[in-house]
Amino acid sequence: MRQTREPGVALALDSMTMTPTDLSRVLFDILAPVAERRRDGSSAELNESMVTIERPKNRDHGDWSSNIAMKLAKTLGANPRELADEIAEHLQNTEGIASAEVAGPGFINVRLEAAAAGQLAKTIVDAGVAYGHNESLSGTTINLEFVSANPVGPLHIGHTRWAALGDSIRRVLAASGADVASEYYINDAGKQMDTFGASVLAAAQGEPTPEGGYPGAYISDLAAAVVARIPNLTELPQEEAMTAAREAAYDLQLAEIKESLARFNVHFDIWFSERTLHATGNDGKSDIDAAIDRLREQGHVYDKNDAIWVRTTDFGDDKDRVIRRGNGVYTYFAADAAYYLNKGDRGFKHKIYLLGADHHGYVHRLKAVAGAAGDDPERDIEVLIGQLVSINGARLSKRAGNIIELDDLQAWIGTDALRYSLGRSPADSPLTLDPELLRKRTNDNPVFYVQYAHARTCAVGRNAAESGVDRSVFAPETLTHETESALLGALQEFPRVVAQAAELREPHRVARYLEEVAGLYHRWYDNCRVIPRGDEPVENVHRTRLWLNDASRQVIANGLDLLGVSAPERM
């Protein structure tokens, strides 16, 4: 419930802390009675979400800035500058605010008292791994599908990017309160599986790869493993042997995919087999049959030329789609439709698909499925298209022959460097990585720069313990240096950065934020000592700076975890 009061009456917060959320609430509580007076007692169009604050690029302008006076001046029939002056005057009476000044046409620049700003250090340390978590997506149930590579070969460089991005999106969604399940759709039905089985069997029999089959040394490796599992494979009738080779190779390849992803710190909650959509139940119908019946009930299915069609043009698709051909064979679209409906049946109202650059055609198709199923295509489904990634100097896999493998990249560049570098750019931006840079232990390497900042905070903690500096006292009013103000201001932003990364599905915002925090921490480290010099006594400012040091460590560790990257204590 909003707290209203007369302008000019001081607003005391429940604690001395002054977070961005606190400041937004203060501004709203000041503005509400002003708006009521100026609009003859009505403030119906005013709500707290309208009050936004930002950190000024120039720290000389204060800790926070708001344009609320300019945003609402016309609505309230006020001069923006005069309205800003009135708000700033009342801000002076708020505990925790040192000054409020008006700049330009009506910007309100706010500077916090040191004690109010510094209180955040203890708040972060006390919160620990929970700091940064928020409830912006609370109550949202999301199915997030990504990677979903065919189980007929090793994961390649494209899958690597989608794995890093998808898993980081999952982490920021969960940190923002969403009930999110990560899902891998196993394309284990269809012609490609038979081609895969035939390729493995041919290798086991010492025969050349069949036309259109899968080449590469990995097929020979799979064939050897299959023969070890089924010693009499080559003695079986051809059709039986092909089925046995296909199933055994499928199990082995899928296990390798799972192991590769686990080494890459990517774990799926659900592994969904396409075969289950084709399996018939007691009524003789498959999930695909049932999906067609359900779409027909919605009025979007029709018959033409012995085929069954879905009228996807009703929902923006460029043409209607055949869901079952005249010969009775289902199309890939049929499985897509059944799979979408299956997700909804499992309780997932919102579905997110992360697809590769060659899947642009799926966007309209999947949205049309959502519309045909009675869902809102603009609200209930998202299709994110990731762009291509290339690696300077990378060699094609010796096993696969025509791809760059995830396992090879991980062994060459390292899990942390690979995940961080793939996570720090938007999914829709083509990306070229420089492995030599990512292997360097210099500040030019972004992941090293951030991880080194974390390791430095740990070193400061160890040295402080040896020097008798502990956290027995917390005096936030002593954190007055300009680098402390800047660092605290950045640490305050972390929950908002996480929430925004989740809302926009852009985990790269966390990576760029961590680089900013690392830079501010390094500058603070160069200017403010946690450990006294020489024989100087340990004072409260040193103990309090240790709180700030540990708060910085916690934020960096929490942020790296959202990217699936480790936070080393020593480097």
- pLDDT above 80 for 59: no
Is residue 419 assigned to a domain?
no
Other Cβ atoms closer than 10 A to 220:
17
207 plus 100 within the same structural domain: no
Q: In terms of residue numbers, what domain contains 55? A: 20-112
446 plus 541 within the same structural domain: yes
**pLDDT value of position 389:** 85
The sign one gets for the Cα dihedral 324, 326, 328, 329 is negative
- pLDDT above 70 for 1: no
More confident residue, 568 or 58: 568
Distances (CA, A) of 24 to 45, 52, 54, 76: 17, 7, 10, 19
Is residue 90 assigned to a domain?
yes
Tokens standing for residue 5: 């009061």
**pLDDT value of position 273:** 98
446 plus 546 within the same structural domain: yes
SS3 at position 218: helix
Which of 58, 82, 112 is the endpoint of a domain? Answer: 112
**pLDDT value of position 9:** 36
CATH label of the domain that carries residue 462: 1.10.730.10
Is residue 470 assigned to a domain?
yes
CATH label of the domain that carries residue 36: 3.30.1360.70
195 plus 102 within the same structural domain: no
Instruction: Render 129-155 in DSSP notation, one character per residue.
Output: GGTT---TTTT-EEEEE-----TTS--
Give which of 564, 566, 527, 569 is closest to 548, Cα–Cα: 527
Is residue 459 assigned to a domain?
yes
Number of H helices, E strands in the chain: 20, 14
Which of 242, 263, 284 is the endpoint of a domain? Answer: 263
Return the axis-axis angle of helices 508-527 and 415-423, rounded to nearest 10°.
Answer: 110
Q: Provide long-range contacts, Cβ within 8 A and 24+ apart, for 307-312.
A: 310/337, 310/368, 310/369, 310/372, 311/372, 312/364, 312/365, 312/368, 312/369, 312/371, 312/372
Q: Work out the burial of residue 449: count CB atoms within 10 Å of its CB; fewer than 13 is exposed, 13-18 middle, 19 or more buried.
A: middle
Q: Residues 286-338: pLDDT tens digits?
A: 999 999 999 999 899 999 999 999 999 988 888 899 999 999 999 989 999 99
Is residue 306 assigned to a domain?
no
Is residue 353 assigned to a domain?
no
Which of 263, 278, 302 is the endpoint of a domain? Answer: 263
Averaged confidence pLDDT in the chain:
91
Is residue 71 assigned to a domain?
yes
Q: Give me the residues paired with residue 207 across strands.
A: none
**pLDDT value of position 7:** 38
Please tell me the least confidently modeled range out of 16-20, 31-35, 408-412, 533-537: 16-20
Q: What total number of domains does the chain contain?
A: 3
Is residue 431 assigned to a domain?
no
556 plus 448 within the same structural domain: yes
102 plus 195 within the same structural domain: no
